[in-house]
Structures are given as C-alpha cells and as structure tokens.
Amino acid sequence: MIAYITVGANDIALAKRFYTAFLPALGYGLKEGPEGLSFALPVPRGQAPVHPEFYVKPPFDGQCASTGNGAMVAFEADTQQQVRTLHAAALAAGGTNEGNPGFRDAYSPNFFVSYLRDPQGNKIALFSSNPNEPGRDG
C-alpha cells in the first residue's frame, strides 16, 4: 500500500492557496507545520488509513524543488461536474491548465479527467469514473 506522496514546493503559501482550492472539497483535511503541508482523508477511530496522505514540502536537502518528468498525482472526484468545478478553482488559485476537463480516447468510457500544474510545476489530475454518469458513448 502507498502510505504517502510528497511533492516539492519552494513557496508553501502559493502551494497552500492552490491545494486548498480543491482538496478540502474532496474530503482532505489540512495540517500545517514548519515542514510544510499535510493533507489526509479522515480515518475512522481504530482503523488504519486506506488512502495515502499527500504532503507538500520544501525539499529536505535544501535545494530548490523541481518537478518529475512523467510524475503525476491523481485525485478522484465524485462527479464530472466536480472535476470541472475543482479544475476551475485550482486554475483561479494559481494553477496552470494541462488539459481541459473531458473524456480521453485512450481511457475507459466513463473516465472523465482534467490535468493541471501546481504553482511549482507538479502535474495533478482530477478525475471521475462514476459509472452512474453518462460516458463518452452515453
């Protein structure tokens, strides 16, 4: 199981603005500390987490943060409309568009996705594959 994912950021305030524009709407809580931002989904008392935590931090080695070529973190939304809404909110909070919300020919019929870059340049996907919504063939 993946326990956590970390992306680097040189400007934590910009990163906070970006990630708090959509992660709380997906159920993530935020804890801030001197080392950066920690986002996690709630875990029922007495149970182990089933979803990885997501950290946004300056690099431990003190060097500037950089993005990974081919690296991406994907967050699941409930609906296609939520993907659209959160994509727009993330853009308004300093993100850049890497792919408008929509279906992609290479993916399954119900996979609705958008792509963004955070202010640091890390690639983020927001998707929904809700089988109760119309797919591209629907």
Predicted confidence at residue 137, as pLDDT, reads 66
Classify residue 84: in a domain, yes or no.
yes
Classify residue 18: in a domain, yes or no.
yes
Predicted confidence at residue 135, as pLDDT, reads 85
| Domain, as residue range, for 109 | 4-59+70-128
What's this model's pTM, rounded to 2 decimal places? 0.92
3-state helix, strand, coil in the chain (%, to 5): 15, 30, 50
Classify residue 86: in a domain, yes or no.
yes
Classify residue 133: in a domain, yes or no.
no
CATH number at residue 92: 3.10.180.10
* Residue 111 φ/ψ, nearest 5 degrees: -85, 105
Distances (CA, A) of 12 to 4, 100, 131: 18, 26, 36
Alpha helices, H only, 8-137: 12-19, 80-92
Classify residue 122: in a domain, yes or no.
yes
Taking only the tens of pLDDT, the chain with its 138 residues reads 789 999 999 999 999 999 999 999 999 999 999 899 999 999 999 998 889 999 999 999 999 999 988 999 999 999 999 999 999 999 999 999 999 999 998 898 999 999 999 999 999 999 999 999 988 765
Cβ atoms of 110 and 131 within 8 Å: the answer is yes
- Beta-ladder partners of 74: 125
Classify residue 135: in a domain, yes or no.
no
Classify residue 102: in a domain, yes or no.
yes
Predicted confidence at residue 128, as pLDDT, reads 97
Predicted confidence at residue 100, as pLDDT, reads 98
Classify residue 114: in a domain, yes or no.
yes
Q: How far apart (Å, rounded) are the C-alpha atoms in residues 6 and 16?
A: 14
Q: What domain count does the chain have?
A: 1
